[in-house]
Structure 1
Amino acid sequence: MATRTRPRSTPAAPERPDRGPRRRLSVDERREQLIEVALDLFSRCAPDEVSIDDIAAAAGASRPLVYHYFPGKQSLYEAALRRAADELAGRFREPAEGPLSERLHRVMVRYFDFVDGHGPGFAALLRGGSVAAGSWSGAVIDEVRRAAHDEILAHLGAEDPGPRLRLTVRTWIADAEITALAWLEDRSLSREELQLRLVQEFTAALAVTASREPSLVPVLRGLLAEESPSGPAGRLLAQLGGLLADPGIADAVGRLAAEG
Structure 2
Amino acid sequence: MTTGVRRRMGVEERKQQLIGVALELFSHRSPDEVSIDEIAAAAGISRPLVYHYFPGKQSLYEAALRRAADELAARFVEPPHGSLGARLLRVMGRFFDFVDDHGPGFAALMRGGPAVGSSTTNAMIDEVRQAAYEQILAHLEVAEPSARLELVVRSWVSLAESTALLWLDGRRVPRAELELQLVHDFSALLTVSAAYDEEMAELVIRILAGEPADGPFGDLVARLAALVPQVPAQRPA
Question: TM (normalized to structure 1)?
Answer: 0.85
Kindly report the root-mean-square deviation, in angstroms, between the aligned alpha carbons of the 2 structures: 1.8
Matched, 1:77 2:51: no
Shift of 1:159: 4.5
Gaps of 5+ in 1: 1-16
Across the two proteins, how many residue pairs are aligned to each other?
A: 236
Equivalent runs, 1:246-257 vs 2, <5 Å:
246=230, 248=232, 251-252=233-234
Q: Which residue in 2 is equivalent to 1:195?
A: 179
Shift of 1:20: 5.0
Distance 1:212 1:159, change over 3 A: farther
Q: Distance in 2 between matches of 1:235 and 1:206?
A: 16
- Which of 114, 119, 135 is the aligned partner of 1:135? 119
- Distance (whole Å) between structure 1 residues aligned to residue 93 and residue 178 of structure 2: 10
Q: Letter of the aligned partner of 1:72 in structure 2?
A: G
Give the share of equivalent positions with the same residue, in percent: 57
- In 2, Cα distance between equivalents of 1:168 and 1:30: 43
Equivalent residue, structure 2, for 1:229: 213
For 1:11-30, list aligned pairs within 5 A.
18=2, 21-30=5-14
Deviation at 1:131, TM superposition (A): 2.8
Could you give the per-residue CA deviations for residues 169-205 of structure 1, whole angstroms, max 9, x where no partner exists? 1111111111111111122210000000000010011
Q: For 2:187 and 2:136, locate their aligned partners in 1 and report how far apart those are by CA, in whole Å.
A: 12
SS at match of 2:176: helix
Aligned-pair CA distance for 1:62: 1.1
DSSP-derived class of the 1:212 partner: coil
CA contact (8 A) 2:69 2:125 kept: yes
> What are the equivalent positions in structure 2 for 1:1-260 lying under 5 Å apart?
18=2, 21-128=5-112, 130-133=113-116, 134-246=118-230, 248=232, 251-252=233-234
- 1:47 Cα offset (Å): 1.1
- Gaps (5+ residues) in structure 2? none
Deviation at 1:55, TM superposition (A): 0.7
CA displacement at 1:247 relative to structure 2: 5.8
Give the distance between the partners of 1:126 and 1:62, measured in 2 at CA: 30
Distance change >3 Å, CA 67–CA 217, structure 1 → 2: same
Question: What is the Cα deviation at residue 95 of structure 1?
Answer: 0.7
Does the aligned pair in 2 maintain the 1:48–1:132 contact within 8 Å? no
**Please, what TM-score do these two structures have when normalized by structure 2?**
0.93
1:131 aligned counterpart, secondary structure: helix
Deviation at 1:152, TM superposition (A): 0.4
Which amino acid is the alignment partner of residue 132 of structure 1? A
Classify the secondary structure of the residue corresponding to 1:53.
helix
Residue 62 of structure 2 aligns with an amino acid whose one-letter code is E
Q: Give distance in 2, aligned partners of 1:191 and 1:113.
A: 10
* Partner SS for 1:209: helix
Q: Is the CA contact (8 Å cut-off) linking 2:73 and 2:132 kept in structure 1? A: yes
